[in-house]
Structure 1
Amino acid sequence: MLLRTIEPNEVERSLNDGNNLNIIDVRENDEVAQGMIPTAKHIPLGEISDRINELDRDKEYVMVCRSGKRSEKACAILASHNINVINMTGGMLSWKGKTTIK
C-alpha cells in the first residue's frame, strides 16, 4: 500500500484558505493537552480500531501525531478498513500554524 502524505505547510495553507479538512490527532491525552490543530478531532492511536465507526467512508482524513510515525500506523489501520487517509509528514514537531488547547 502506498501511503499518501501531505506536508504541514500544505495543511496550514488549506485551512487558511477556508477548506474544511478532517484532521484526526492520534497522540495521547497529555500530548494534545499541550496544543493541537484547532479543527482536529482527538482519537488516540490505541483507540483507532475501536472508533472506526465514528469515521465517514465518504470523507478523507488527515492523520496527525507528534512526528508522523504513529499517524502512519493509524493510516495503515484505517486504510485496511477502506477509510480514505493521508498522513501529515513530520507531525506536530513540524507544525508552524495555530494550535488550541481542547
Structure 2
Amino acid sequence: MEKTTMSTLKEIVNNSATSIIDVRTVMEFQSGHVAGAINIPLDEVQSRLEEFKKLPKPIIVYCRSGARSGMAMSILKQSGINEVYNGGGLADMQFMLN
C-alpha cells in the first residue's frame, strides 16, 4: 500500500471536489472546524456508510490528533470506500489549507 505524502495530501485537501469530514464529537466540531467540513462523529461512521458512499471523492477525515480519523478511515476502507485519507488533526488540516 502506498503512503500518501504530505504534499499529495495537501493537494487533495485543497481540491474543491474533496469531501472533508470531521469525525470529532458535535461539541468539538462546534468549538472550531475546517471551513466546509461535515461533522460525522466517529461513533456514527459505521451507521452512516451509505452517506459516505454518496459523497464526492476523495474523502479526507480528520479529528483532534489523527487517531479517531485513522479509525474512521479503516472503517471506510473495510466498507469498500477506498478513496479516503487521514488528514490527521485539526491543526494539521488548518496548516494544509494555508
Answer yes or no: same fold by TM over 0.5: yes
Gaps of 5+ in 1: none
Aligned-partner Cα distance in 1 for 2:57–2:13 = 19
What residue in structure 1 maps to residue 10 of structure 2? 10
Q: Is the 8 Å Cα contact of residues 23 and 62 (structure 1) preserved in structure 2?
A: yes
Contact between 2:17 and 2:57, CA under 8 Å: does it hold in 1? no
CA RMSD of aligned residues (A): 2.8
Q: Distance in 1 between matches of 2:14 and 2:31?
A: 23
Question: 1:4 offset after TM fit, Å?
Answer: 5.2
Aligned residue pairs, count: 93
**Higher RCO (CA < 8 A, seq sep 6+):** 1
Question: Paired residue for 1:75?
Answer: 73
| Off by >4 Å, runs of 4+ in structure 1 | 2-9
User: 1:17-96, aligned counterparts within 5 Å?
Assistant: 19-56=16-53, 59-84=57-82, 85-89=84-88, 91-94=89-92, 95-96=94-95
Q: 1:7, CA displacement in angstroms?
A: 4.2
Identity in percent:
32
Report the CA distance shift for 1:12/1:78 in structure 2 as closer, same or farther (over 3 A). closer
What amino acid maps onto 2:78 in structure 1? S
Find the aligned partners of 2:73 and 2:10 in 1 and give their Cα distance.
18
Specify the SS of the correspondent of 1:62: strand
Distance 1:61 1:20, change over 3 A: same
The gaps in structure 2 that reach 5 residues or longer are none
